Every structure is written in C-alpha cells, then in structure tokens.
A and B are shown apart, each in its own frame.
Chain A
Amino acid sequence: VMTQSPATLSVFPGERATLSCRASRSVSSNLAWYQQKPGQAPRLLIYGASTRATGIPARFSGSGSGTEFTLTISSLQSEDFAVYYCQQYNNWPPYTFGQGTKLEIK
C-alpha cells in the first residue's frame, strides 16, 4: 500500500512544496511520481525515486528509498498546481499508486 501525505497542500506561488509518499514495505528505489491536471492523463515526472523524466524542469526533485519518499517542487509556478501521485513498481503485479496529493494555490 502506498500512502501519500498530505491529501491537500496549499502553497503560495514561488514557495517550496514538499510531498510525501510512504510504502507499506520496501520498494527499493522503484518509485515514480506523476503530475495530473484536470482532464489530462498523468505525466511522468520522476522515476527511480530521483531521476527526472525527459523535459521535466529542474525545480522538480525526488528523494528517498525503501519506504519513505519525497517530491519537492522548489519555487512553485502557476502550472505546477495539480494532483501528484506516487507509484511503486518494485513488487508487481500489482502496480500500486498512492491516493494522490492535491497541490493548490494559497
């Protein structure tokens, strides 16, 4: 089971956002982060817990291993307000997603 916190995070533009994802058992570094905007498919941001996908800005960074993971977005831009999901691919099937963190403008 993947558990994300908080469910909703309110942050001012330009500030830093820190999102958490916890696995019920170790997933090593086999964790991905996705961003989803309304009416769109999820977009891969981070894989391998800390590697940015192609075209992802450097303000997005991931860290962690085992059971505790963090997605950090430095200096939030207006286009960053969205829902973020973590997903483990260490112990599959099944692939499992967190329930999501909604990042909203404060």
Chain B
Amino acid sequence: QLQLQESGPRLVKPSGTLSLTCTVSGGSISTPDYYWGWIRQPPGKGLEWIGNIYYSETTYYNTSLKTRVTVSVDTSKNQFSLKLTSVTAADTAMYFCAGIPVATNRNWFDPWGQGTLVTVSS
C-alpha cells in the first residue's frame, strides 16, 4: 500500500525559495502506473493543484505557478520534490503530495500525504 510523507522547512522568508520533499513508501516511485503530484491549500481555503511529475521526469504544471515552480524526482531515494521560488505571504499554505494513477480517465488523487504547513514570513 502506497504511503507518502512530506518533509521540509516550515518557515520560508519572503522572496526566498520553498523546498519540500515527498517520500514514497510501499512501492516504487519508478512505477509506470502513477504520476506524483503537489497540491496546496491556503489556511481556510480550497485546494489548488501545483504540478505533476512522472518517473521519466515528464512534468505538468499549473500555468498560474509555472514560472516559479519546479517538480523533480529522485528515483534512487524514492522521492520527488517541489521548489517554489520568489515566495510571498500568498504562498503560505498546507502543501500535500499525492499519487495520481496514470491510466486514462483514472487521474484522481489517491493516496495523499498528511500535508505540511509552510509559512512565508520574515
């Protein structure tokens, strides 16, 4: 059973770079069956998809964040990562990682990591 766990700094300074890692357990990140994605949720607000990566390093990004986002994968560590540059207070949010089945018409988010709250503040 796949399990995901986010890790990384909880506090980032304005104009800095937010960096998070998601560790996948219970399966290989190199599986052809899943994309690996990031979703965020500002306090008290709804869910926003950030981006996906495939083990082959093919990436898909939300155009609203595309100029600031990089998602990468490290198959040797069974991890994928998120970098978000030039952060502002608006980037303060709970950040979730998730697995997304690859098969056509099966691209829902499951499983999810527990999430990690990242605050942008000086």
Contacts and interface: CB of A to CB of B under 8 A. Distances in A.
B46 A41 contact: no
Contact of A41 (B52, B105, B112): B112
A47 B106 contact: yes
B56 interface: no
B63 to A, nearest CB: 7
Interface in A60-98: 85, 87, 89-90, 92-98
Nearest to B50: A94
A53 B49 contact: no
Given A41-B112, A87-B108, A93-B62, A99 B49 contact: no
Contacts of A41: 96, 112-115
Interface string B102-120: 0001111110111100000
Contacts of B112: 41-43
A87 B109 contact: yes
B48 interface: yes
> Which interface class (under 10, 10 to 19, 20 to 34, 35 or more) fits B?
20 to 34
Q: Is the interface of B mostly helix, strand, loop or mixed?
A: loop
Contact of A94 (B63, B108, B113, B115): B63
Contacts of A92: 60, 107
Contact of B110 (A48, A53, A85, A98): A53
Contacts of A28: 105
Interface residues of A, number: 26
Interface string B78-122: 000000000000000000100000000111111011110000000
Interface in B46-87: 46-49, 52, 60-64
B97 to A, nearest CB: 9
23 contacts: A30-B107, A32-B109, A41-B115, A42-B47, A42-B96, A42-B109, A44-B109, A44-B110, A47-B106, A48-B105, A53-B110, A85-B47, A93-B60, A93-B63, A94-B62, A94-B63, A95-B107, A96-B49, A97-B47, A97-B48, A98-B46, A99-B46, A100-B47
